[in-house]
Structure 1
Amino acid sequence: MKTSFLTQCFPSLEKELVTEIEHYSSIKKFEAKEYIVKEGQFIRSLPIVLDGSIRVYSTEDAMQFLLYYISSGASCIYSFAHTFNNEPAEFSAITEVKSTLMLLPLERVRLWLKKYPSFASIVLNDYQKHYTDLLHTTKQVICYNLEDRLIDYLKTKAEIEKSNLLGISHQEIADNLGTSREVITRVMKKLGKNQKVEQIGRKIKVL
């Protein structure tokens, strides 16, 4: 499974590197809403998502702030930021759906970054992608109103779950967007009147 995934998603990897990753990495399955890492923990591995999706967020004054999502074939750039230091994580990462991860031990990652140009290139490209994601998140917070941010959030969730019917509460949305449940409920009612979403029981349909 490891070799076929690596050669398909990262065809530029050297054969020797693929062999080393096959030997040193491990594969772990996670249920939905299961933590990969919690803020304050020390990171021991660089995760690559084989299947599923991960939500990465930070917390400030007991309020969550969505940073970005990680999908299949991507590593977590915040984990990479801790590759060369021994500081605890300043973020949390949790699975959105059932997910399978390949875990690369950080001591081997450090060696591969120096030894294999293809590996360094992949990590840098992933860094650029998540940097762009963070810029998008920042622009949303500064420039967009909450209605636009909420619609963008729901559309992203629908893409990840491959369904326009989302089993998500107003409180969970509020946590991810850094606001209160009451505010989300008001905005949802407005979106409902404008026929952009529909509340069906405890689920939200993106129209």
Structure 2
Amino acid sequence: MDTNMHAEQVAAPGGRAVELVYLTTRPELAEALRARSASTAAGRRLRWMYPVLGTLLVLFGALTVVLDGTVGARAVGVAVAGAVLWALSPLVPRLTPWLLARSFAGYVEKAGEARVLVDDSGVRVTTADSEARVGWSAQPTYLETPGSFVMLSDDKSAVALTVLPKRGILPPADTDALRAILDRNLRRL
């Protein structure tokens, strides 16, 4: 099977296509997940959940000490757990995407080289084992990071995403052309 897609031959009528060829890396995936987390309601909730829960646990531990009149192991444990959550809260926005990217790494490595064609009809992704077409309505929003364009589904958690690394754009000067296609068909976050 010839997986080489020629943009001129497969472009939608009247439109220009942009081709990407790349191996997805764990850092790119982590960057995309971090950006998704920063731009979705679920990601923003995760950011404030740790400090709020930590504060509540510390207050509950202190209240238990005040009401009981003694410093018990349970009250101290609850307060320490709250303090740990509070201390970890700045790490959550960076650690969670890194852990998710790490868990997907095996799948991404197994998929191998991706050849992607983006035109006004959607995105076609071809790997050694599969071929998929992503219509604009399936992932109607996108965001741009320093290294990638990230297409997102419109569900509340934006679970589905497609990462289009800029380094894979052929030729590299087509970054503006890809941005233009995405701007025409998707809503930028």
TM range, normalised to the smaller chain?
under 0.3
Structure showing greater relative contact order (alpha-carbon pairs closer than 8 Å, 6 or more residues apart): 2
Normalised by the size of structure 2, how large is the TM-score? 0.26
Q: What TM-score do you get using the length of structure 1 for normalisation? A: 0.25
By percentage of residues, which structure has more helix?
2
User: Which structure shows the higher strand fraction?
Assistant: 1
